[in-house]
Structure 1
Amino acid sequence: MQSNQSAFDALDICCRIIAKKMDSTAIEEWRVSDYNRLSSQLGKQTKVYLSVNTLKRLFGQLKTPQRYFPQKATRDALAQFIGYRDWQEFELVNSVQPIEAKPEPLIAQPEEEIAPKAPKKNRRKYIYAGIVAFLLLVLIGGFFILKSVQPASDTELICENPFGNVPHTAVFKLKSKLPHIGNEEFKIDFMDEALQTPISGKKEIAKFFRNPGVVYATLLYHDKPIDTISVYMQTKGWVANSGNDTSRAFPIAGLKALNPKNIYVSKEQLDSAGLATNKPFLVGFSNIKPSNISGDNFSFTCRVFSEQSRPGTQCVETTVIILGEKHRHLLTLNRSNCVAFSQYKFSETRVVGAEQFLGALAFDPTNGGDIEIRVVNKKASVMLNGKKVLATSYKKSIGKVMGIKILFSGIGKAVSPKLQDLSTKEVF
C-alpha cells in the first residue's frame, strides 16, 4: 500500500499530465474559465463533474489546512480522463519507487580468520534444521494468509430494502459466518451514485438515492471487490429527471408517467423543475421495473431526436443504458466531430473513444435517428439508421432486465422505445 507521501506524489503527476492535456498555461496562471473548461471536458468524458473549487483544491491552488486528497470515484475519473482504466492502473504505471539503500561492500576476511569447514555430519544437521525452520515459516505464513482471506470468503453484503421508489433510502449491512468481524477493512463502493463508505461488524449504512435506476453496490475487502448487490429505484412507466452534475437531480413533472410513444419534456417543464438551463445539463428518461426478460438475449429499438448545440456545449450526446440485475449495457453516441467522447459497454466489455477510434459510431439525430441494439447469447450488435456499426461480445451475464434509461445532452426526445426478449417475446 502506498504511503501518504507517495499517494500525493502520484496525484501531482496526474495533475501535471492533465494540465499538459489541456494544452494551457502554467497551473498557477489558470483562470476560472480554464477550470470551467476542464470541468466540462472531464464531465463529458467520465460523467463525473467537479466544481471549480474542487479542481482548485486538487491542483493546490486553493489552500486548505490539510492537503486535499479526493475520493476513489474522483481519482478514477481523473485517471480515465488521461487514458487509464482507473486510478489503480495509473498508480501502477506511474508508481514512485523509494530509493533503495546500496549494499555495504564486502570485505574479505584474512585467511587465518576463515572458519574451518564443518564435518559432513554437522553440515547434515544444519541442512535438516534449515528445512524444519523453512517449513515452520511456511506454516506460520499460511496461517496468517488464511486468517486475512477468511473474513472475505465468509462475508457478504446485503440490503434490507433493495426495492424502492424515488427518492429511496437503502440500508446496507454485512452478513458473515464469523462470530465477529471487528474493524476489518471493508468498504462499499456505490460507483458514482454515492460516496464510498467503510462498514464493519453489525454496523448499518443508510444511503439516499435520488435518481430512478439501478445502483450496483460493491463490497470491497482491502480495496478488492468480493460481492455486489443491486438496489432498484422503480418508476411507474417512463419518467423524466435532469441535472447539471452527478450530485443534484431535478424530478420533472413530479416524475409522472410520460407518453411512451413520444417521450419528451419542454423547456418550460425544465424551468418549473428548477433546472438552470443556461448551463450544460442532461435530461434522462427512465423506465425501471422487474422483468423476466434476459439481458443476454433481447432486441431494443428506438427513434431519438436531439437538439442543436447550445451555448457552452460543443458535443451533444445520446446514451442508452440497459440495466440488469448484475451488470449493465451502455451505448454513448456523438456526432462525428466528438466521437472521442463516445463509448460502449456490454457487461464487462468496455471501449471508450479516447482510447480507440469509434468513428463508426458517429450519430447525429438532430432530425431524428434510429438506434437498434441486439444481444444474442452474449454477442452484441448495434445498428444506426439501419446500418450495422458494431459487433462485440462479453462473458458475464447481466441477469434479467430491470430497467432502461435514455439520456440526452440538453433537451431530447425518444419515440416508442421497445425492448423484447428474443426467446419468450415478452416486451418490457
Structure 2
Amino acid sequence: MVAENGQDKAACYHQLDRCCLLVSEVFGNPNWEDWTNSDFVRLSHTLFRQTGVQISPNTLKRIFGKIRTGSRYYPQKATRDALAKYSGYTDWEHFVEASPQAESIPDQTIEVPDQPIVAVSVAVSPHPIGPSPQKRSGTWRWLAGLAVIALFIGGMATYRHFLTKPATTGAVQLICKNPIGENPHSANFQIRGLAGVADDPVPYVIEFGDGRRKPIEAEVSTALYNHYYEKPGRYFAVLKQGTLRLDTATIYLPTKGWVATAHMPHDTTRVYPIDVPGLFVGGRRSVGPLAAARAGVDTNRTFFIGFTNTQVTDIDADNFELTTQVVTSPDRAGVRCSQVGVTIYGESSQHTVDIIKPGCVYWAEMQFSDQHKSGSRDDVRFLGADLRRGGTLTLRVVDQRVQLFINGRRVHETSYKMPLKRIYGVTVEFAGVGAVNSFSLKDLKTGKPFDGNF
C-alpha cells in the first residue's frame, strides 16, 4: 500500500497511529486500550457533531485496533480527513505534512582492532597476572564508541524536544477585542506572541468555550479570528497547542432579566430565542411546546430550552446557596432522559450539574470549577433522579467546599481549588419542556440576594 504522497505502508500506519493518539487526547481519554463500546459510541457522535462525517463505532474500533482483522485496517480518505480535522488540522494532508517523519538512524559499526594473543607462563612469576595494556586499550575504545552513540541519540531527542516547543516570541496571548456584547455576539480574537506555525508539527487550536473549535493557520502573529456566540452566558476561549493550554480569554453576554433560548443539537440553525413576556418574575414558569414550535423549533425532535439570567453580581461564587424547585419534561418525542442542568457562571470558571433519570446517568456532566466528572467515565449515579413530577435542588458552597442536595437529601460533597470569585449569572436548562417553580440564590456571608429570585 502506498499513500497519496508516496509514503510506504509502514509510514502510513505510523501516521495513523499518531493521529489516533491525538484524537484520544482531544477526546479526553488517551488510554484507548481501555476504551469500552460506549467510548467509541460517544466518539462517533462527537466526530459527527464537530466534523459532519459519520464514522460508525465499529469502524472506529477497527481504526484503533480493537477489532482484529487479517490485515491492519487503513481507513478511506474522508475518514482520515475527519480524524485529522478533529485533531486540529485542516485535513489529512495537512496532518501528514505537519507531522515529524520517522527518521532512520544509519547503522554504525564500531571497529575494534584485533589484539595480539599474549602467552603467559604461569611458572615464571609469583605475582598475580593483570590485564595486558593492549586489551585495556581495546576495552576503552569499545566504551568510547558506546558513548558516541549515546550522545548522538540524546542530541536527536533534545533537538526534537525543542522542535516541538511552541514557536513563541514572548508571552503568548489570546485577546478578545470585544469581550462583552449582546446576544447574539460576534467576537473578534487576536493571537499575539506566536512567530508562526507553518513548520510546527504540533497544531494550535482555539476552543471557543461553546463546544466549537478552530485550527490556527500559518502566520498567526497578526491573524484575526471571529466567532459567533449564539446564546447568552459567560464563555472561556482557550488557545491550545496540542493538549497544552497557552492562554484564555473571557467573553460575556449579559441579559436583561430572564430569557428563554431553545436549541437543537443536530440542526443547522441550532438556536431559537423564545419571546416570553413576564418570564418567571411575571408569573410564567415555563415554555410549552406550542411556544417553542412558534419560535421555529421542531418539537418532534430532540431539543433543549434554557432559561438564563446573566448579570454582574456581588454574590461570592465560593460562598453561596442556590435552591430551585423544578419539574422536568414528560416523555415525548425526542425526550427520553428528562434531564435538567444548572450552571453558575463565575469569574474564571463555572459550576454546572446535570440531574437526569437514573437510567441515563451516562450522559450526566458535573463541574465545580477545576473539578470535573462525566458519566461516560466516572461513577455519577448520585446524579440520577426522576423529577418529572417535580423536585427541589440545592447547591451549597462554603469556602470552595460543595454540597449537592436533591429533595433535601445530600447526595454529593466535594471541594475545588480554583476560586470563582463572583457570580456572573445562571442558566437552568431542560431537555424538552420543563418548569422552574421557584428560584433562590444568595450570598452566604452577606445574605445579599440575586436580582432575579422568585
Structure 2-normalised TM-score? Answer: 0.68
Q: Which amino acid aligns with 1:408?
A: F
Residue pairs, 1:333-372, within 5 angstroms = 333-372=355-394
Match of 1:54 in 2: 53
Preserved contact between residue 178 and residue 188 of structure 2 (Cα < 8 Å):
yes
**CA deviations over 1:282-312 (Å, ceiling 9, x no partner):** 1111111222222111111111011221134
Match of 2:182 among 153, 161, 165: 165
Give the counterpart letter for 2:227 in structure 1: K
Q: In the alignment, which residue of structure 1 is the partner of 2:396?
A: 374
RMSD: 4.7
Q: Which runs of 5 or more structure 1 residues have no equivalent in the other structure?
A: 24-37, 77-97
**Pair 1:325-2:325 in alignment:** no
1:197 aligns with 2:226: no
Q: Does the C-alpha gap of structure 1 residues 147 and 358 become closer, same or farther in structure 2, counting only changes over 3 Å?
A: closer
- Structure 2 distance, partners of 1:72, 1:371, is 42
Q: CA deviation at 1:187?
A: 2.8
Residue pairs, 1:197-236, within 5 angstroms? 197-198=215-216, 200-236=220-256
2:263 paired with 1:243: yes
Give matches, 1:14-25, under 5 Å. 20-21=37-38
Out of 5, 13, 16, the position equivalent to 1:5 is: 16
Cα 1:173–1:398 change in 2 (3 A) is: same
Instruction: Give, in whole Å, the separation in 2 of the partners of 1:3 and 1:163.
Output: 45
1:149 CA drift (Å): 5.8
State the distance in 2 between where 1:281 and 1:390 align: 28
Give the deviation of 1:205 after TM superposition: 0.9
Question: Is the alpha carbon distance of 1:73 and 1:407 closer, same or farther for their aligned partners in structure 2, counting shifts above 3 Å?
Answer: farther
1:253 corresponding residue in structure 2? 274
* CA pair 395-274 structure 1, distance change in 2 beyond 3 A: same
Larger radius of gyration: 2
Q: Deviations over 1:4-34 (max 9, x none)?
A: 32245567999999894499xxxxxxxxxxx
Q: 2:299 aligns with which of 266, 277, 281?
A: 277
Q: CA deviation at 1:58?
A: 8.1
Measure the CA separation in 2 of the matches of 1:238 and 1:374: 22
Supply the distance in 2 between the matched residues of 1:205 and 1:52 (Cα, whole angstroms).
19
Secondary structure of 1:401's aligned partner: coil
Letter of the 1:238 partner, please give it. Answer: W
| SS of residue matched to 2:419 | coil
Distance 1:71 1:195 in 2: 14
The aligned length equals: 374
C-alpha separation in 1, matches of 2:169 and 2:397: 34
State the one-letter code of the partner of 2:185.
H
AA aligned opposite 1:236: K
- Percent of matched pairs sharing the same residue: 23
Aligned residue in 2 for 1:286: 308
Kept in 2, the 8 Å contact 1:262–1:415? The answer is: no
CA distance in 2, matches of 1:397, 1:325: 9
- Specify whether residues 355 and 221 from structure 1 end up closer, same or farther in structure 2 by C-alpha distance, changes over 3 A only: closer
Show the 5 A alignment for 1:409-428: 409-428=431-450
Q: 2:278 touches 2:284 (CA, 8 Å); kept in 1? A: no
- Offset, 1:145: 4.6
TM-score using structure 1 length: 0.71
Q: Distance in 2 between matches of 1:401 and 1:192?
A: 19
- Counterpart residue identity of residue 253, structure 1: I
Q: 1:400 to 1:152 in 2, by over 3 A?
A: farther
Check whether the contact 1:193–1:209 (CA below 8 A) recurs between aligned residues.
Answer: no
Measure the CA separation in 2 of the matches of 1:65 and 1:338. 35
Q: Secondary structure at the match of 2:382?
A: helix
